[in-house]
Structure 1
Amino acid sequence: MASTPTHALSPLLRKLESIATLTDEERHAVESLPVKTRMLAPRQDIVRDGDHTSQCCLILDGWACRYKLTGKGQRQIFSFHIGGDIPDLQSLLIPVMDHSLATLTSTTVALIPHADMRELTLRFPNIAAALWRDTLVDGAIFRAWIMCMGQRSAFDHIAHLFCELYLKQEAVGLASEHRCPLPFTQLDLADATGLSNVHVNRVLQEMRRNGLITLRSQTLVVEAWERLVQTSEFDAAYLHLQKRAAP
């Protein structure tokens, strides 16, 4: 492990400032967090179901996911995470994990001790409010996923997810012009949507034939944004984005 330079926490600032407004003093306080960095390989658990934790994990670069396994080893992915996300923020108040967090790609993470996060939120109530807002947005995303899984067709479900993932990345400067990284596998997509790998493949082929998307070299290009939004009934209001970062 190595100490993280101040500027390395810019992904967290970009994330918070996509949903809230911070003062210069608050930005400096976030940048001054005493954290450690780790570089992790793809498909590596960061924290496991049942672990007792004393630190939060901030994604600096790369992709991660929350997931849980059934007794038969079947995986359900609950969410995808990009730079700026703190997927286990709830561990500040619930230190025993009830699911696992793992990398999907080569990923750099910053580990933030709970004690320092608590001190930060006590000193700066507006930062605490921004983090609380982030957890509320996280809950809104969960509700959107449940709605898709229960009530939308496989085609509309995947279209809705693509709209969400694009806007989340655009908001923190990782995507633009309806083009964004999408570095996870078709099997990951199946485990996130509750569909079979074969069914996901058919949906992606249909999207390509209809001129909606191009998916190549781990990059998603939405060729017809308005049509994708319309077919999936996508409404970005649940993401509660206040502003978008420059790419």
Structure 2
Amino acid sequence: MLRELTLNPRAVAPRRDIAMPPAAESVHLVLGGIACRYKILLDGTRRIVSYLLPGDLCDVHASASGAADWSIGTLTPCAIADIPRERLAELARAHPGIDRALRWITLTELSTAREWLANDSRPADRRIAHLFCELLVRLQAVDLAGDSSIDLRLSQVDLADTAGISFVHVNRVLQSLRASGLIVSGKHVLTVPDVARLRAFAEFDPGYLHLAG
């Protein structure tokens, strides 16, 4: 039943909107690439508030009015399946397993949002290290990362908009992480020589992602 909903994905180029408020007739499933939820602030700057990876549903828990209050855009080339919200609701009513999974998604997103809020209080180097730890764990969960490396096509501007710091500051942070031996970055590949050490530095505990069991 779920496969039938994803038979005709659309290709979306990087830096394109998948959905913008207030429309929320469809739930968007990321099948490939990295997307994000973001807000444009009054001064015109963008703030990324979460990442959407392959297997993630966007806006499954839109507000009671049916409207989303953020934009969803691609950061890399993406494959997106658009699922009518009512069709997904019908499946949830007919299949308790799907209903439980959708509620689990909502609870996990809330838990992740709280962790991102706490992460904002950390210094910038630990904030970005925490993001790298999260991406490694989440991509490993969908078999898209090795034990210590990920294909990471995010720009430094994306990282700046995620961490809420300037592009120049991101550049300095990455240089510092590399100099400390915490990361090794090549063309589109991020390698973590010692995962446990990076986790300790970032104060990262993957429990908030609820991936175990």
Per-residue Cα deviation, 1:176-208 (whole angstroms, up to 9, x for no partner): 121112111111111111111111111110111
How far did residue 224 of structure 1 move? 1.4
How far did residue 35 of structure 1 move? 5.6
- 2:161 corresponds in structure 1 to 191
How far did residue 131 of structure 1 move? 1.3
1:202 aligns to 2:172 (yes or no)? yes
Q: What's the secondary structure of 2:150's corresponding residue?
A: strand
- 2:83 corresponds in structure 1 to 112
- 2:181 corresponds in structure 1 to 211
Cα distance between partner residues in 2 of 1:228 and 1:136? 27
Alignment partner of 2:139 out of 169, 191, 213: 169
Cα distance between partner residues in 2 of 1:198 and 1:127? 44
Alignment partner of 2:17 out of 32, 45, 49: 45
Alignment partner of 1:73 out of 19, 44, 48: 44
Per-residue Cα deviation, 1:103-155 (whole angstroms, up to 9, x for no partner): 111111001111210111001112111111111111111111110102x1111
Cα distance between partner residues in 2 of 1:208 and 1:68? 30
- 2:116 corresponds in structure 1 to 145
- Cα RMSD over matched residues? 1.5
Higher helix share: 1
- 1:32 corresponds in structure 2 to 4
Q: Could you list the runs of 5+ residues in structure 1 that have no partner in the other structure?
A: 1-28
- 1:85 corresponds in structure 2 to 56
Q: Count residues in correspondence.
A: 213
Q: TM-score, normalization: structure 1?
A: 0.82
Cα distance between partner residues in 2 of 1:220 and 1:93? 40
How far did residue 93 of structure 1 move? 4.7
Change (3 A) 1:161 1:94: farther
Identity score, percent: 40
Cα distance between partner residues in 1 of 2:128 and 2:12? 28
- 1:229 corresponds in structure 2 to 199
Change (3 A) 1:79 1:168: same
Q: What's the secondary structure of 1:158's corresponding residue?
A: helix
